[in-house]
Every structure is written in structure tokens, then in C-alpha cells.
């Protein structure tokens, strides 16, 4: 996807410091954080949203889960607590249509 901002970040076309990266996933701080810790975790593969996941993505999703756990550890919130979410669709507040998970922590959530 030529005009996808997260594809560009993944490919290094938009300079962004990676908190974590491997061949399938990338994690970086959200540009507009809503908590002291706010990390975006994405697959390198362009998948528009959670709705576009299929059986072929089972292993990738499992991998992303482990990456998110590692991000929580790297950010020091593994024990204090953190929240993981994905917005699916415009009605849920999805703005960037490249599948991503938000990992939020460093504050007390209600």
C-alpha cells in the first residue's frame, strides 16, 4: 500500500524509532500518546483492519501477542498493568487502516 502511513513506517520511509522490530512486526511510540506508555504494534504485512484477518493470519496474530507482551516488559509495565486494544472500523475510531494494536500503560485505568 503506497499511501499507507504504517507501511511507510515499517519500511523506514518515515523515520521512526522502533521499540521493537523483527521480520513480521514493528512497535513504536504513538505520536499522540493518550497515556504515559502508548505503543503501536503492527504487522509488517498490510492488513487493513481486524475484520480482514483470516485463518492464514493465525500464526501472525499469535506472534503479535508475544510481541505485545515483550513491549510491555520493555516499557516496564508488565507488572503494573497495561491495556491492549484495536479499533476496528471508522465507527470505533479507526483512523489508520493498517491493522495495529495500542498498548497503553503507566497510569491507573478505570
CA dist 39 and 29 (Å) reads 4
The strand order across the sheet containing 25-29 reads: 18-21, 25-29, 37-43, 101-105, 82-85
Position 3 contacts ligand 5GP (CB under 6 A): no
Smallest distance from ligand 5GP to CB 39, Å: 9
Site string for ligand 5GP, 35-74 (x = CB under 6 A): -----x----------------------------------
Indicate whether 7 belongs to the interface with Zn ion (CB under 5 A).
Answer: yes
Please report which residue ranges of 11-94 form alpha helices under DSSP H: 58-74
DSSP for residue 74: H
Question: Segment 8-37, which members bind Zn ion (CB under 5 A)?
Answer: none
Distance CA 103, CA 12 (A): 21
Whether residue 100 lies in the annotated active site: yes
87 near ligand 5GP (CB under 6 A): yes
Residues recognised as catalytic: 100
Amino acid at each position: 500500500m503506497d499511501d499507507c502511513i504504517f507501511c511507510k513506517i515499517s519500511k523506514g520511509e518515515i523515520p521512526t524509532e522502533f521499540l521493537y522490530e523483527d521480520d513480521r512486526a514493528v512497535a513504536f511510540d504513538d505520536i499522540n500518546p493518550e497515556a504515559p506508555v502508548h505503543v503501536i504494534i503492527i504487522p509488517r504485512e498490510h492488513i487493513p483492519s481486524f475484520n480482514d484477518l483470516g485463518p492464514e493470519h493465525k500464526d501472525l496474530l499469535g506472534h503479535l501477542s508475544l510481541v505485545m507482551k515483550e513491549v510491555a516488559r520493555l516499557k516496564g509495565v508488565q507488572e503494573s498493568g497495561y491495556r491492549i486494544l484495536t479499533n476496528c472500523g471508522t465507527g470505533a475510531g479507526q483512523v489508520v487502516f493498517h491493522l495495529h494494536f495500542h498498548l497503553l500503560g503507566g497510569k491507573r485505568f478505570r
